[in-house]
Amino acid sequence: MEEYVGELWHKLVTRVADKQYAEAAVSLDEISKTAAIFFRALGGDAGLSLSAATATRHGARRGWKERLATSGERVELSWRDGETLRLPAQIALFPERSLNRDLYLWLVALSAANVDDSLPWIIRNQTATLATLARFPGLVSRYHRLAEALIALRPPPKNLPSDEAAQESAIRQALQQPGSVHVLPPASKPFHPVLLWTHPNPPASKASRAAASNGAPEREPSDNASSVKNRRKHSAERTDMPDGKDGFLMMFRAESLFSWTEYINVNRPQDEEDDVESAALAAEDMDSLTVARDSETSVAKLRFDLDLPPAGEDDMPLGEGISLPEWDYKKQVLQPDYCRLQEHVTPQIEPYELPPQLRRTARRLRSQFQALAPTRIWLKGQQDGEEVDLDAWVRQEADLLSGTHADGRGMYRAQVNQQRDLACLLLADLSLSTDAYASDHARVIDVIRDSLFLFSEALSATGDCFAMYGFSSLKRGNVRFNRLKSFDERYDGLARGRIQAIKPGYYTRMGAAIRQASTLLAKQPQRQRLLLLLTDGKPNDLDRYEGRYGIEDTRMALHEARQLGLRPFCVTIDIEANEYLPHLFGTGGYAVIRKPEDLPKELPLLYAQMTR
């Protein structure tokens, strides 16, 4: 009964203290696509991803209702760094939904302004405001409407102590007349958050005390349904895993009783951790998450065994490897001979027949793609040929009888072969993430394998020149490039055997693989050359090839491919691909397959549309 009454009381005081307008709320999920396009249209850095901001404690004075409900301690403010633009996960500040939406767009526009980050907070935001309004006068009326609505919600200076009142008056003046305030007066308590401006002190993750390359990967494949909804990133620091040997012992005397506590390293099995929602709620309430890399977990041991097979079971390397450059976007320089790529081929492969479950679909695709195969056609109006062109002869006689001058067209028909002057290289992502399940019955690697089978069956019906390779990586010195079928090889039982033998590898150093694939494809004499990338996620690796660095190197590799006259195109099953693929391939340079199990039948049809 006591717990029930306490819960009712908590709901009551929380509702009374709540200053948000839930019925007019606008969420980041709703406006993320618009915000991303708007940010890039205003000249913002196209390489930045969009994420929900971390809720931080502001420390400002709160009303008695908020103190009673222990609410209003945290606020989500926008800021950006070299990789991410962070916006509030939801804005319900104003009673009008249009104002909440305009606040999102204003924060995006303010973040697109190029202002010196070393300036004091109040000067930096005023400078960014003036620059934004000067470049885009259409935002002036929206800004003043937002400023007036925000000032009405702020605490009046007359209700504050003198030092805080002076500070609040300066902020109000800076909002109404940007550029008029040069110094923020000091006060005993922090100022009330200014939601129209960026964060005064953005929370930054502390430097890692453990190398990123000494264990399992930083992130695991997560459930896609939840990853889209939970965009928030937490402030975090990494620490070493306590070994449990030197526990902290604390003894104190309270009411004549001795008590003690110490750290105990307890390894809980995965099946005991069933209260995932409670853990997520607890994480939301924490200011900073501290994570430690435990090299003793069973998952890391299993992945180690899977990732590093014995030399006798591994694919056979071809040659001594190839040195490739890599783009460092921070230094804006192409680092020569930075990566080492090794081409591999699966040894001792037996000829393999097409799997029975794919044969019916393969027959249908072959019949469809045979219409694209080279055929013999008749060309009319030729100066010489096998037959007389009766249409041209009748037209010429009619022109002569009517007194019209003949146009001089040929009077013959010639039969010629219609050729598809096209070469395609398919580059498949074989990273560790493909070991995850795409559906209840198949892993991602199984879906990719079936896609390669049907893709090969379809292209062999057209007679197009094509090659297939897979890739994965383990840091920059070990980029694996698996040859499934080269341009010089026929698609036969051995090629199907190599496709059947593919397995999840390491990580996704995409730039090096694209550069090598571009080199091979550029050697083909065909006029149209298509570089088709099949993947399930972002570029990543154990070293610094993560986040913005990997994306920018991949973007530079694709730019180099276009300079060679190639046409890159990406097919992905990553439902978050719209956040980064437009920056890499352009708006029309990729396709997202929402249902991974549809990839095998969709991939050949996409190819037919691109090469029709």
Q: Kindly report, residue by residue over 6-54, the tens digit of the pLDDT.
A: 777 767 767 766 777 889 899 998 988 888 889 888 888 888 888 888 8
Inter-helix orientation angle 599-611/356-369, to 10°:
10
Residue bearing the bigger pLDDT, 415 or 262? 415
Q: What is the pLDDT of residues 207-238, one digit of tens each?
A: 433 334 444 444 444 444 444 344 555 555 55
H runs (alpha helix) in 349-443: 356-369, 390-401
Q: What is the pLDDT of residues 78-115, one digit of tens each?
A: 988 878 889 999 998 899 999 999 999 999 999 998 88
Number of H helices and E strands in the chain, helices first, is 18, 22
Q: Can you tell me whether residue 32 is helix, strand or coil? A: helix
**Residue ranges of domains in the chain:** 2-176, 212-240+289-308, 316-369+420-611, 375-417
272: pLDDT strictly greater than 60: no
H runs (alpha helix) in 269-388: 276-284, 298-307, 356-369
Backbone angles phi, psi at 484, to 5 degrees: -100, -40
287 contact partners, CB below 8 Å, separation of at least 6? 56, 57, 235
CA distance 176 to 133: 13
Token pair recorded at residue 100 = 């909440």
- Give the least confident one: 221-225, 375-379, 599-603: 221-225
Q: CATH top-level class for 316-369+420-611?
A: alpha beta
Neighbours of 351 (CB within 10 A): 10
Contact (Cβ atoms closer than 8 angstroms) between residue 600 and residue 454: yes
Q: 481, 392, 486, 471: which is closest to 429 by C-alpha?
A: 471
Q: What is the pLDDT of residues 416-462, one digit of tens each?
A: 555 678 899 999 999 988 888 887 788 999 999 999 999 999 888 88
Token pair recorded at residue 344 = 């591999």
For the chain, the average pLDDT equals: 80
- Give the least confident one: 147-151, 254-258, 478-482, 543-547: 254-258
The single-letter code of the amino acid at 41 is A
384: pLDDT strictly greater than 60: yes
CA distance 546 to 510: 11
499: pLDDT strictly greater than 60: yes
Contact (Cβ atoms closer than 8 angstroms) between residue 480 and residue 472: yes
- Which residues on adjacent β-strands are paired with residue 528? 422
140: pLDDT strictly greater than 90: yes
Token pair recorded at residue 234 = 């937490």
387: pLDDT strictly greater than 60: yes
CA distance 153 to 156: 9
The CA-atom distances, in angstroms, between 490 and each of 182, 306, 453, 487, 493 are 73, 31, 14, 8, 9
Backbone angles phi, psi at 359, to 5 degrees: -70, -40
pTM over 0.75: no
- Give the least confident one: 178-187, 200-209, 318-327: 200-209
What was the pLDDT predicted at 239? 58
Backbone angles phi, psi at 477, to 5 degrees: -90, 0
DSSP 8-state secondary structure symbol assigned to residue 433: G
